[in-house]
């Protein structure tokens, strides 16, 4: 997404060693209930918005002028509340400024946060893929059609095998991330984008195949695969859509 170019939330110096914050944020995880909020905005000094510094503030959820929406109704991830935040002339002292100075690299810090967020998606995808595979294996062993467990049919076996390949790939990807972290190496934004892109697509493909393997039962809410399918879809959207990841990866490759 155009996180910085399209950012309209602002901070203005109020002349009393503090700031006045205004703007809104949407699709905020735990936004309706969070006690502490990191608010990223641009310093409005009357200059061109594209040239403004990016600042980050630590805010309490009950500050005057800060309001929030009710939890949004979503396709999936019902256990994770998502909402909107609205700030209208919220006053924040300099002690709430992350980095303690306007010259702190808030833009770079935010990008590093984006990278960490994307790098975390393979673990989420692995959970979805592993659960889909476990459910499908049990179903393939017990569901009988034409006098045989459906796991004896080669097309069902192909689905199961592909799920296992995706599970192994995701697991190995996570092991590599752990090894890099242990060696003190940071994953680049392009590497994180590549990991997220593969993981999100793998989770979605496996979840759809799980629904298909279950047949009519897969479409019913009493069987968990339909929930996993709805939950998997958001991996292709949040922390940057698949299309954004492709662009990030390609730009990095072309730069060499």
Catalytic residue among 45, 51, 100, 117: 117
Retrieve residue 155's tokens: 């097309």
208, 214 contact by CB (below 8 A): no
Strands 66-68, 82-93: pairing kind: antiparallel
Strands 36-43, 10-13: pairing kind: parallel
How far apart are alpha carbons 24 and 201 in whole angstroms? 30
| H-only helix segments in the chain | 106-119, 121-142, 154-182, 189-214, 225-233, 242-255
Beta bridge partners of 25: 85
Q: What is residue 105's three-state secondary structure?
A: coil
146 phi-psi bin (left φ>0, alpha ψ -120 to 50, beta other): left
Sequence-ordered list of residues with C-beta below 8 angstroms from that of 147, at least 6 positions apart, any chain: none
How far apart are alpha carbons 136 and 121 in whole angstroms? 22
117 as an active site residue: the answer is yes
- Which residues are known to be catalytic? 117
């Amino acid at each position: 997404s155009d996180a910085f170019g399209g950012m309209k939330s602002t901070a203005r110096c109020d002349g009393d060693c503090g700031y006045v914050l205004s703007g809104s944020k949407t699709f905020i995880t735990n936004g309706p209930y969070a006690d502490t909020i990191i608010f990223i905005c641009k310093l409005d000094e009357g200059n061109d918005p594209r040239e403004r510094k990016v600042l980050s503030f630590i805010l309490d959820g009950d500050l005057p002028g800060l309001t929030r929406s009710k939890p949004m109704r979503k396709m999936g991830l019902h256990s994770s509340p998502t909402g909107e935040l609205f700030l209208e002339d919220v006053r924040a002292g300099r002690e709430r400024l992350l980095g303690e100075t306007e010259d702190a690299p808030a833009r770079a810090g935010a990008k590093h946060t984006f990278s960490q967020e994307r790098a975390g998606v393979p673990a989420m995808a692995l959970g979805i893929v592993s659960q889909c595979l476990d459910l499908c294996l049990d179903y393939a062993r017990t569901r009988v059609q034409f006098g045989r467990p459906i796991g004896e049919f080669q097309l069902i076996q192909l689905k199961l095998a592909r799920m296992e390949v995706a599970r192994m790939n995701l697991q190995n990807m996570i092991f590599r991330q752990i090894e890099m972290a242990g060696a003190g190496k940071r994953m680049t934004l392009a590497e994180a984008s590549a990991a997220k892109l593969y993981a999100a697509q793998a989770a979605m493909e496996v979840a759809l195949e799980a629904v298909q393997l279950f047949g009519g039962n897969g479409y019913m809410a009493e069987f968990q695969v339909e929930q996993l399918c709805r939950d998997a879809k958001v991996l292709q959207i949040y922390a940057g859509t698949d299309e954004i990841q492709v662009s990030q990866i390609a730009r990095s490759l072309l730069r060499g």
